[in-house]
Amino acid sequence: MATRTILTLPDPRLRLVSKPVAKVDAEIRKLVEDMFETMYGAPGIGLAAVQVGVPKRVVTTDLAKKDEPKNPKVYINPELLWASEERAAYEEGCLSIPEYYEEVERPAHVKVRYTDLDGNEQEIEANGLLATCLQHEIDHLNGVLFIDHISKLKRSRVIKKFAKAARRETEEAE
């Protein structure tokens, strides 16, 4: 297992549309292990492979609270089959947009089809935090960030802030 570097805004790779995984092999299993180590170390509750620079349709999640046993889940090639008209708002954050949180409204209930680590197709119906997390991570696989769901003004402020910070880092490194 290895911790991988999490890409942060304004890295253009975060906007890549991830490619489907053809088969679950040793390379995918290693990627999943690294993603869990990276996600837990961050710490976060969800991570898409594209966030660690691998544009493949792989997502890891663990919604267990600090005092609960870990509950790692893997979703390979996740696909949103259905979303409710009922909406729910959650304050979202993102490991690729550190220390920025904003309320985002999404469908309250979803149905997702995915492949598990054994290569079996599964379906899950989710609501609450899991529904939000799955939608957030599937968005990543499609090159969409949670800030794309907030007002244009707030989004442009966040993008400017992270672009400025990235320029500062580049200048300091030179």
Q: Within 25-107, where are the H helices?
A: 26-41
Q: Nearest to residue 146, comparing CAs of 103, 110, 115?
A: 103
Tell me which residues are annotated as active site.
Answer: 137
Backbone φ and ψ of 157, nearest 5°: -65, -45
The CA-atom distances, in angstroms, between 55 and each of 45, 58, 103, 150 are: 19, 9, 27, 24
